[in-house]
A = this chain, B = another copy of it.
């Protein structure tokens, strides 16, 4: 018998997507961050993200507010990766019966804060008890701006792989918690990541941006998704990956490789995108003017191979696969 452990999350999604019928109103279906749907002659975006205690969070490492905030951010970030605007949020919560109400209310406060921050609103959901672990599923409905969105597929040969936002800080924050020596600046990114909604919208409108994804599972894995969707390979140059000074310092003191966190650590919710080489300079300049932060070129798409290489060497599976 094949188990989920054998197949992995992405193997499962491949199998399921072959099982399920589609429809003409489904513009982008299973296989992207977010579904794109034709509704009332416009483009609606919808995505959900489910987190489970002990797999995605631990109550000893995060406050209830942090847990709610992060669960919302994970789902909102999928809308950011399409260049869309989040509007409405549903929250389904499965709770152990002995959960204290102040914990549940804290989770909802964190959810509501993250959702309000981006101008969206929680409109409903479901609650149930569970004999298992606290489980939160957040569904976000959004809209595409002017019927334009950026899919995961769309990268072309020779496109540059770019990153907006931080890499590796969230996973280093978790590492510091697990070591019992929490590094506040990194822990904050781990517990309170930001969905780059405005940046995503800006990039979605930027000429030459052809494919985008949010870095939830690590750059190697998520850049691999863009490459796979385009039937291309990608080469990541680790020397070009931006390393935050706090991450650098933590790794230096602990004798760890900052670049490894930046390559494989998930949950910073940076945006990785493919851009036409000729469009890059203008995009960088204008992005810097708009957001006072950098976009960094970290690699290039190629037809010379499939999958991800780091400095030319095939990357072993370095991301976070939920079943392995």
Residues of chain A at the chain B interface (Cβ within 8 Å): 1-7, 9, 12-13, 15-16, 19-23, 25-26, 29-30, 32, 34-35, 37, 39-42, 44, 46-52, 54-56, 87-88, 90, 92-95, 97-102, 104-105, 108-109, 112, 116, 121-133, 135, 137, 139, 141, 143, 322-323
Contact = CB atoms under 8 A, between A and B. Distances in A.
Contact of A3 (B12, B100, B322): B100
A128 B322 contact: yes
Q: List 7 A-B pairs, minimum CB-CB distance, nearest first.
A: A132-B132, A35-B123, A35-B124, A50-B92, A137-B137, A132-B133, A40-B40
Contacts of A112: 19-21
A126 B137 contact: yes
Contacts of A3: 97-101
Q: Taking the full assembly, how many copies of this chain does it contain? A: 2
Contacts of A101: 1-4, 6-7, 12, 15
A34 B124 contact: yes
Contact of A109 (B4, B19, B139): B19
Contact of A39 (B90, B126, B137, B143): B143
26 contacts: A1-B102, A2-B101, A3-B97, A3-B100, A7-B101, A12-B104, A19-B108, A20-B108, A20-B122, A26-B123, A30-B122, A30-B123, A30-B124, A35-B88, A35-B123, A39-B39, A46-B123, A50-B127, A51-B128, A52-B132, A92-B92, A92-B137, A97-B323, A128-B322, A131-B132, A139-B139
A201 to B, nearest CB: 18
Nearest to A90: B48
A259 B98 CA distance: 33
Given A20-B122, A35-B90, 7 more contacts: A4-B129, A35-B123, A40-B143, A46-B139, A48-B92, A50-B128, A141-B141
B25 A126 contact: no
Contacts of A123: 26, 29-30, 35, 37, 46
Contacts of A19: 105, 108-109, 112
A137 B12 CA distance: 17
A130 B133 contact: yes
Contacts of A93: 50
Most buried by B among A12, A21, A127, A137: A137
B16 A108 contact: yes
B124 A130 contact: no
